[in-house]
Chain A
Amino acid sequence: MPTFRTASEEETIALGAKLAQGWPPGAAVLLIGELGAGKTTLAKGIVKGLGAGEPEDVSSPTFTLIHEYGRARKVYHVDLYRLDRASEASRLGLEELFDRNSVVLIEWGEKFPELLPAVRYEIRIRTTEGDQREITVTSVNI
């Protein structure tokens, strides 16, 4: 289980860009961590690493639920924070996103495990101290 440590927002963005290099086109990636852990910050790096946008283009999709980045190669950035029931989340059409051969990043996806693809990456982000983060990447195949 690869574990990484970053000491600043910039390092977290750089790590995101590096991690994204090895992913297949249709990868589903769960970003797991408490409020303020840096899920959206890591997403900035991933979107950049996949060539779908600049870090400053990536903002939190909490209210809007899904952000879409890139033209030729798209990245979807989903946030299920404000949803309480799986029935609400299922109405978003996540299955369709998973079928599009695009990387799909999901924040707060662990709330609804039944909606997630069996094969996915799980990235856990934890604050160790101040701006320092511990980031663990797991490849899941249920």
Chain B
Amino acid sequence: MRILGIESSCDETAAAVVEDGVSILSSVVASQLATHARYGGVVPELASREHLRAIVPVVRLALAEAKSSYSDLSAIAATIGPGLVGSLLVGLTFAKSLSFARGIPLIGVNHIEGHIHAAILDAELEFPAVALIVSGGHTHLFEVNPGFSYQLMGKTRDDAAGEAFDKVAKLLGFGYPGGPVIDQLAPYGNPRAVKFTLAKMKGNTLDFSFSGLKTAVLRWTEARDLGGEIQTRKDLLAAQAQPTVEEWLRVTPRATLDVLASFQRTVIEELLRRAVAAADACGARALIISGGVACNSGLRAATEELHLPYPVYFPSKTLSTDNAAMIAAAAFPKLKRGEFTELNVAASANLTLA
């Protein structure tokens, strides 16, 4: 049973064809297309107008790469939220129109549920499980119960974890977004060199807060005269869009590498401490870590070192960031249950999973 997935909740216009919820026949993300010429030379970066330009060629390419036609599809799955309404509407309206015109049932999917499924495509997941979704826009902990019903256990009260990475990178002159740069440079610094004191959380101890850590890095930077050093990095970035690790290392002194390593270690500890506590609290038999930050190799290594008594599922790196294969995969259990979505469903900017 093939499902066409469509995702347009934020920056990426994406389409994918997934068979039986496990095998990805195609997964196209507009910004990753080799030739921008396919859709007129503009990389979709924001909002509805850019999604509009990309949606038709992206869906066509996803079907072509999957060697599928509309008649092969059992359902069309589209993200209904959370996200930017204008962006969501493009993918959802396209999916609805296709569903109506071709008589193929529609399945609305929550973007966050998509991230969960990105990690467990062909896994035999045991319930209950705990899912930690960490990206630029989300930091959530869910209990995942049989039939994929969810309960929110914790969330960020301010910045998402990925956002903290990106902002710290930018304030130190590594550009934005900068999560991957920090991950690449962290191994060259001492992760215990800088101690960040974090405010104690009141209320739900499984909630996250990364704003204070971001501010602590800002204060660390302000307390030192780093203007010249930051400028050399900005110059490097201006001369070259994607500097190599060696090039970054040439313009990054030891103390800054230490602060990057210490920052990354602190974020990872904060994430894992709560994920493990959440798993303990509900007797989890699996842990799922997904979303853009799940690409972070420091996070993956630290998770492995914990030798947790239950399996930990990470998505492949290409499925960590926004894509449509995860939307099609998340729709498969719904298809099996015959849970279809009415064509009058609305996009919901604040859609919650639980």
Q: Which residues of A contact B (CB under 8 A)?
A: 34-36, 40-41, 56, 59-60, 62-69, 81-83, 88, 91-93
| Chain B residues whose C-beta falls within 8 Å of the C-beta of A34 in the assembled complex | 218
Q: Which 3 A-B pairs have the closest CB atoms?
A: A36-B215, A63-B136, A63-B137
Query: Which of B80-88, B267-275, B324-332 lies at the interface?
Result: B80-88
Residues of B within 8 A of A88 (CB): 45-46
Residue among A40, A63, A65, A81 facing the most chain B CB atoms (10 A cut-off): A63
B285–chain A nearest beta-carbon distance, Å = 29
Report the minimal beta-carbon distance from B97 to chain A, rounded to whole angstroms. 21
With A35-B218, A93-B48: A63-B160 Cβ-Cβ less than 8 Å: yes
A83 to B50 Cα, complex, angstroms = 15
Shortest CB–CB separation between residue B197 and chain A, in angstroms? 12
A92 contact set on B, CB distance < 8 A? 46-47, 84, 86
A63 surroundings in chain B (CB, below 8 A): 10, 135-137, 160, 162-163, 166
Interchain CB contact under 8 A, A64 and B83: yes
A36 to B159, CA, bound (A): 10
**Is the CB–CB distance between B49 and A36 below 8 Å?**
no
Do B214 and A35 have beta carbons less than 8 Å apart? Answer: yes
Total residue contacts A-B, CB cutoff 8 A: 79
A68–B215 CB distance below 8 A:
no
Cβ–Cβ < 8 Å partners of A64 in chain B? 10, 82-84, 137
In the bound complex, CA of A138 to CA of B211 (Å): 26
Query: Please, which residues of chain A bring their CB within 8 A of the CB of B157?
Result: 56, 59
Which interface residue of B136, B157, B349 has the most chain A CB atoms within 10 A?
B157
Q: How far is the CB of B227 from chain A (nearest CB, A)?
A: 15
**Contact of B171 with A82 in the complex, beta carbons under 8 Å:** no
A66 CA to B88 CA in the complex, in Å?
Answer: 13
Given contacts A40-B211, A82-B166, A91 and B50 within 8 Å (CB-CB): yes
Interface residues of B in 227-271 (CB under 8 A from A): none
B280 at the A/B interface (Cβ < 8 Å)? no
Quote the shortest CB–CB distance from A139 to chain B (angstroms).
Answer: 28
Distance in angstroms between the alpha carbons of A83 and B171 in the assembled complex: 15
- Whether, in the assembled complex, B158 has its beta carbon less than 8 Å from a beta carbon of chain A, the answer is yes
Q: Give the distance in Å from the alpha carbon of A83 to the alpha carbon of B170 in the complex.
A: 13
B156 interfacial contact with A, CB 8 Å = yes
Judge if B350 is at the interface, Cβ distance under 8 Å.
Answer: yes
Query: B113-154 interface mask toward A, CB cutoff 8 Å, 1 = contact, 0 = none?
Result: 000000000000000000000011100000000000000000
CA distance A88 to B43 in the complex (A): 12
Chain A residues with Cβ below 8 Å from B167 are 35, 62, 81
* Between-chain CB contacts (< 8 Å), 22 pairs: A35-B167, A35-B171, A36-B218, A40-B158, A56-B203, A56-B207, A59-B157, A60-B159, A62-B160, A62-B167, A63-B163, A64-B84, A64-B137, A65-B10, A66-B84, A67-B349, A67-B350, A88-B46, A91-B46, A91-B50, A92-B86, A93-B47
Nearest-neighbour CB distance to chain A for B115, whole angstroms, equals: 14
Q: Is B176 an interface residue (CB 8 A)?
A: yes
**Chain B residues, CB < 8 A from A40:** 158-159, 211
User: Which among B45, B48, B49, B84 has the highest number of chain A CB atoms within 10 Å?
Assistant: B84
Asked if B189 is at the interface of the complex by the 8 Å CB criterion, the answer is: no
**Complex CA distance for A83 and B167, rounded to whole angstroms:** 13
Residue of A nearest to B176 (CB): A82
- Interface-central residue, A56, A60, A69, by most chain B CB under 10 Å: A60
In the complex, which residues of chain A have a beta carbon less than 8 angstroms from the beta carbon of B47?
Answer: 91-93
A59 vs B138: C-alpha distance in the bound complex, in angstroms? 9
Chain B nearest CB from A87 CB (Å) reads 10
Chain B residues with CB under 8 Å of A35's CB are 167, 171, 214-215, 218
What distance in Å separates the Cβ of A34 from its nearest Cβ neighbour in chain B?
Answer: 8
Asked whether A41 and B158 contact (CB < 8 A) given A35-B218, A66-B349, A82-B177, the answer is yes
Shortest beta-carbon distance, B274 to chain A, in Å? 16
Given contacts A63-B137, A64-B84, A83-B46, 18 further A-B pairs with CB under 8 A are A35-B171, A41-B158, A56-B207, A59-B157, A59-B158, A60-B163, A62-B136, A62-B159, A62-B163, A62-B166, A63-B160, A64-B82, A68-B350, A69-B350, A82-B177, A91-B49, A92-B86, A93-B47
